[in-house]
Amino acid sequence: MPRCVILLAWIFLVYACREDIRLPEHPAIYDLATPIRLSGDTTRVYLTDYFLEPAKIKKITSSEDLKPVWKKGRNEILLLPEISAKPMGNIRVKTEGYTYDIPVLKSMGNDHTGKAPVIFTDRIKGDTVCLLNRNPVEEWAVYVENQKLKKSCLFPDSNGIRIVIPPVTKEFGRIELRVWALNESGVSNDIFIPLEKGKVIMDAGLLNRFDKRASTLYFLMIDRFKDSLPGNNHPLNTKEVLPIADYMGGDIAGVAQKLKEGYFDSLGINTIWLSPITQNPEGAYGLWKNPKTKFSGYHGYWPVSSSRIDYRYGTPEELKELITEAHKRNINVILDYVANHVHEEHPLYQQHKDWATNLHLPDGSLNTERWDDHRLTTWFDTFLPTLDLERAEVYEPMTDSALYWIKEYDLDGFRHDATKHIPEVFWRTLTYKLKKNIVFPRNITVYQVGETYGSRELIASYIGSGLLDGQFDFNVYDDAVAVFARPEIGFQRLNRSLEESFHCYGVHNLMSYISGNQDRARFISYAAGDIRFTEDNKVAGWTRKIGERKPSDEKAYDKLIQLIAFNATIPGIPVIYYGDEIGMTGGNDPDNRRMMRFDGLSEEEQRVKEKTAKLNKFRRNSMALMYGDFVPLRVEDKVYAYLRSYFGEDVVVIFNKHEEEITLKLDLPQRDRRGTFKSMFGSRFSYDNSKLIVDVPGNGVEVFYNEIRSL
């Protein structure tokens, strides 16, 4: 075709797209509007989940098969979809001068037929984004920020689509392009593409600490991390409390000390998650029978104040210094916030005992630890009243307390304790207040992640524009622990678990993927066989010494590296639980909360730390890992390989559960690829014409990549 014809065609494409959208300088929706998930015959949508001022909404329309019911001035829309509604639709909201589009996804099971579209990034040609598809596509849904592009910007064919980036995007800084495809069998995976001044971001160095998908978290329990100021140590020192259940002296100043020494930078961490820091009781509570002991509040989860820092951790000045120093290093700090309950000494409970739920059920039985059948009212213990957060007089002051921590200390978000035990009205109120008082005025993001043990449907019910950004994906974690620790369980289970999470939360989710936490036995102790999967891991931690200094089987270190590599290379946000970066051992609480060790590491511990750091730093430099497609390449009992791909930047991750080294041949999708492949950990390999032949060590992991910036 003559060059002049191609040029004319290109000019036509750009001109056709020029007037497609108008982006507001000060949008009424902050960040991306999360898709609405239809639920049954009627779905209720709260407009304040998306808009601060619903009163300014002029008109709401939708895809013709959604049938919205809304009265002007009301905060709620009812969606009454037809039975034959498409798998994906759209709500359009007109405000003063601008329109906003919110995707709507029909709740469907996984596409077991394999006929729904699957879409992939391909290449960038000037101002055009090229995507590929597998399986026929009946319709494409493309959003620039919160506006759906019209067909004038979209040029699909049987193999994929060319999307012309609207010229208006050049007038703005960071915005995102989101893409779905659909047919009668379902909706595809999502693709997210960050733009800067209208150009696709190809360099991860352009991302900053406010880009949530660029986060890598480190969770530390303050009392067990670093004791920098012995003068503020105040253990109970009573025979009622064994040393492992008492204060050990870690403090805020200790966290700041390790920050200044470069510990978190050296690990590739850019978000520190602090355990709760509010004042806890002076006395001992609870009871463990064998060995007999009560507990101090060293962990921070028994608040007697919602705004005062526990003097055993530090002072307001020390917390402010920590956060200031973190921000200087482009590191975020989020706080573990306890809203579900208070300690019985808390003034709020002392003055308003009727603000708590009932300790006894109608049949007279204790309403304690009823996690599922009475999840919104159950008490964690008889001295920890659960607040009745359905009531405005209770949730208003508690959400104000949470807001106080962000406003006073410039924190970057929350990890929310016991999320599933708290009603949605609390989360909606808190998130609305954060948007109104912090997010919009300061033009910054606040990351909120919740803790919910339960089904994916229950976990997802707390995630959305007016709720939380994400939660911990305990379902994937449980499957990952089983697969990496137990030789007899195949990788099919883990891949299936990931697919279920992608369907429920989206591929480009903000879920957190943990190496462990304060409520689980250490993974490495499972992997070594020092804890059996069939036993009570809390009893095990109390009644025997579990890997007092190291696991009994040193192959467990390799398996731990596999778990950390998995979290670092899948979509979502990886989380390191303190001590996992060196392979600390232990049963469940409190044995998994030993004092952190920084010195005298063994060769194996140092190896785990170095590989953890390398993986985390690699992820922060890889657009493919933060925004790329996820494509399984090999799923077998002992071998798992997948591809993360982003416009020619590829990362191939391979796990080997065989005891011996294997040679693996992989056929990669035919794509344009930049540069040549490199091996992260030094395995032998060859690559030619999309064929990758690699040697992977026994119980090992290898990562191959191309064109990643220097680590």
The string of pLDDT tens digits covering residues 402-440 is: 999 999 999 999 999 999 999 999 999 999 999 999 999
Say what the pLDDT of residue 710 is: 41
The whole-number pLDDT of residue 230 equals: 96
Could you tell me whether strands 76-79 and 43-46 are parallel, antiparallel, or unpaired per DSSP bridges?
A: antiparallel
**pLDDT tens digits, 133-156:** 999 999 999 999 999 999 999 999
* Residue percentage of the chain with pLDDT more than 90: 90
Q: What is the pLDDT of residues 683-703, one digit of tens each?
A: 999 998 889 999 999 999 999
301, 265, 569: which is closest to 415 by C-alpha?
301
Cα–chain center distance at 28: 25
Q: For 151, what's the count of Cα atoms within 13 Å in the CB-facing half-sphere?
A: 3
pLDDT at 8: 44
Residue 365: CB partners within 8 Å, gap ≥ 6?
Answer: none
Which single residue is written with the structure tokens 């008492």? 246
pLDDT at 552 over 90: no
Instruction: Work out the average pLDDT over 491-514.
Output: 98
Q: Could you write out the DSSP letters of every residue in 24-49?
A: -SS-SS-SPPPPEEP-TT-EEEEGGG
What's the mean per-residue pLDDT of the chain? 95
| Amino acid of residue 664 | L
Assigned CATH topology for domain 630-706? Immunoglobulin-like (2.60.40)
Q: Average of pLDDT values for 276-296?
A: 98
Q: What is the mean pLDDT of residues 451-455?
A: 97
Query: Residue 414 in contact with residue 337, Cβ under 8 Å?
Result: yes
Indicate if the pLDDT at residue 73 is higher than 60.
Answer: yes
- pLDDT value at position 6? 42
Supply the CATH classification number for the domain 212-623.
Answer: 3.20.20.80
Mean pLDDT throughout 512-526?
98
The structure's pTM equals 0.96
Q: Which amino acid is at 342?
A: V
Once rounded to an integer, what is the mean pLDDT over residues 327-348?
98
Residue 26: pLDDT over 70:
yes
Q: Can you read off the two tokens belonging to residue 371?
A: 């996690």
Task: Report percent pLDDT > 70 for the chain.
Answer: 96
Please report where in the chains the tokens 């090992």 appear, as a residue. Answer: 700
- Strands 512-514 and 573-577, by their bridges, are parallel
What is the distance between the alpha carbons of residues 414 and 431, in angstroms, rounded to a whole number?
11
127-138 per-position pLDDT tens digit: 999 999 999 999
d(CA 614, CA 487): 26
What pLDDT is recorded for position 14? 54
> Looking at residue 275, what is its pLDDT?
99
Tokens 């609405």 belong to residue: 36
For 514-531, give one letter per residue: b (16+ CB within 10 A) or e.
Answer: bbbbbebbbbbbbbbebb
Q: What is the pLDDT of residues 366-385, one digit of tens each?
A: 999 999 999 999 999 999 99
Q: What is the pLDDT of residue 700?
A: 98
For residue 675, the model assigns a pLDDT of: 76
Q: What is the pLDDT of residue 83?
A: 84
Q: Report d(CA 35, CA 79) in Å as an integer.
A: 13
- What is the DSSP annotation of 61-79? EE-TTT-EE--TT-SEEEE
**pLDDT value, residue 673:** 77
Domain ranges of the chain: 3-201, 212-623, 630-706
Distance of alpha carbon 97 from alpha carbon 27, whole angstroms: 11
Q: Which two tokens stand for residue 538?
A: 């809390």
> What is the per-residue pLDDT for 708?
52
Q: What is the pLDDT of residues 172-219, one digit of tens each?
A: 999 999 999 999 999 999 999 999 999 999 999 999 999 999 999 999
Burial of 585 (0-12, 13-18, 19+ CB in 10 A): buried
So what's the pLDDT on residue 110? 62
Q: Is the peptide bond before 423 cis (omega within 30 degrees of 0)?
A: no
* pLDDT, average across residues 436-458: 97
- The mean pLDDT value for 6-17 works out to 53
pLDDT of the residue at 709:
47
Burial zone of 359 (CB within 10 Å; 0-12 exposed, 13-18 middle, 19+ buried): middle
